[in-house]
Structure 1
Amino acid sequence: MTSSAPGAAQPSRAARILQGLRLELRRTNFSGRSVSLAEGALVVATVSSLGLRSSGRLDAGLLAGVGVLGLADDLLEPRQRRAGRAISKGLRGHLGALRTGRLTTGAAKALGIPLLTLAGAAAAPGPRAGAMVLADGALAAGCANLANLLDLRPGRALKVVLPAAVALSALTPGEDTRARSGRVLAVAALVPAALALPADLREHGMLGDSGANVLGAAVGTAAARALPVPARLTLLGVVVALTLASEKVSFSAVIDSTPALRAMDLLGRRSSPVTTGDDGRTP
């Protein structure tokens, strides 16, 4: 047995906690590289902070809630896997587990995120009819889920979030309170997404469920407040169609087999062999 040398400095409790947290946030990505989920946690904090400029504490709190649900999934699912417990995949899998009386972290997200986005839609500034509150809440929740579905390769989700956030922040019409709120939320997604992109592409960090969910929710909520009703309903239809398709089709397979999409997906990324990581994200 070895022991520390007499008088050797021992790490403080704070240092031990920090080291434990750092290890808890480490993941092996699809290419076998070690990355940190701290990127996602920082994105959640930044989006939520910038969201304070929208409708005060409400939007910030709701976005933080979306991020916390994602972070819980990021942290708890690997523990369940290491313990040998069955892990449900996809929306169908999580809802199926829920029907058997087992609440997975994915099911908690599938229930919690729509409730949060619905609350945000109900409390949004400006005119809101009952049916459109439901549609706006569904749009924000659907975008949160879609961003997460895309986050299977470095930079992929960010390459979708960034153009959407730029367009919404630049093209928001009007100067009414609702439009300004949408513009603020678009910027709240744009800034942290742009800051996270270099580290994500270089595989130093990853968004995880927390970062992808909160960026998608911010963009979806911004769209719900900035776009006219026909555009919102069209976008909702596209998001729903892609979500349903993801249960049957691999986005990665479609992207890899489409030259233009593959070129965009590889832009800025490191070249690396494709392996399966232990973060629970399938290629």
Structure 2
Amino acid sequence: MAALRATAPGGRERWERTNYAGRTVELYAGPATALAAAIGVGRIRPAAGLAVAVAGLCGAYDDVAGDHRRGLRAHMAALREGEVTSGAVKLFGISAAGLVAGALMKERVVDKALAGVVIAGAAHVVNLVDVRPGRAAGAVVALGVPGMVRSELAAVAVGAAGAVLPDDLGERVMIGDAGAHALGAALGAAVVEGNGRLGLVAHAAAVVAAAACGGAVSRVTAAATFRSDEACRHSCE
């Protein structure tokens, strides 16, 4: 993160965003967190490290090229019209990487599929909770610490999230989609490594349910924002 801040590739404006409170925060933490998690996970489980790296890259693309669309339906509707949104890139890219990692981490076909769902789903869910400072990193620490008993990968996820958490909570940095997706994929890989068939079923059901609920909330929020903008425009007119 310090190296990125010192060099600021592409100019400092590219690495600055305005958060929910109107404060200017830096995006250096996102790629740094993704890189740290990918290297740490990859040293233990190369296939999982690749999934974390892909999740971080897809998230970084959305940080740079993302648009106003929110929710799976919006991105799928755009795809049917021939437009490939950054959300669609994330969906297919992270899902493919999760399935490949799951296939290499487990032996039986059913377990391979479940593992892929858990890794990709965890990446998506952690990104969904990244709506306020420290939410995503804090969730990874809280969920990952108990898993450290069963998986070294959980320690990697907790370490990467814990390292950036103080600056995130202090609203000095933003981990963005790059950091949130990478941390989520690392947490999902830890779950896969530390669980058998029953645990995988339970976690797969949990991430699918959380993603569905999050998608519904995202659509409601987007609709409310649209109505608010419309009301503001009419009142100005």
Q: Shorter-normalised TM-score: what interval?
A: 0.7 to 0.9
> How many aligned positions are there?
217
Q: 2:57 corresponds to which residue?
A: 68
Q: 2:144 corresponds to which residue?
A: 165
Q: 1:247 corresponds to which residue?
A: 215
When the two structures are superposed, what TM-score results if normalisation uses the length of structure 2?
0.85
**Deviation sequence 1:99-137 (CA, Å, 0-9, x none):** 11110111001001010011101111xx52112211110
How many percent of aligned residue pairs carry the same amino acid?
A: 33
Structure 1 pair 240–39 and aligned structure 2 pair: CA distance change class (3 A):
same
1:52 correspondence with 2:53? no
Q: 1:50 is aligned with what amino acid? A: G
Q: 2:98 corresponds to which residue?
A: 117
SS in 2 for 1:35: strand
Of structures 1 and 2, the larger Rg is shown by 1
Structure 1 pair 251–239 and aligned structure 2 pair: CA distance change class (3 A):
farther
Structure 1: how far apart are the matches of 2:154 and 2:207?
A: 18
* Contact 1:69 1:210 (8 Å CA) reproduced: yes
Structure 2: how far apart are the matches of 1:197 and 1:237?
A: 28
Structure 1 pair 16–239 and aligned structure 2 pair: CA distance change class (3 A):
closer
Residue 164 of structure 1: how far off its partner (Å): 1.6
1:20 to 10, 32, 41: 10
Structure 2: how far apart are the matches of 1:75 and 1:140?
A: 23
Bigger helix fraction:
2
Q: What 5-or-longer segments of structure 1 have no aligned partner? A: 1-14, 82-86, 173-182, 254-283
CA-based RMSD: 2.2
Equivalent residues in 2 for 1:1-283, closer than 5 Å: 18=8, 20-56=10-46, 58-77=47-66, 87-124=68-105, 127-170=106-149, 172=150, 183-249=151-217
**Deviation sequence 1:167-221 (CA, Å, 0-9, x none):** 1112x1xxxxxxxxxx232122111100111000000001110000000011011
Q: 1:130 is aligned with what amino acid? A: V
When the two structures are superposed, what TM-score results if normalisation uses the length of structure 1?
0.72
Structure 1: how far apart are the matches of 2:206 and 2:8?
A: 42
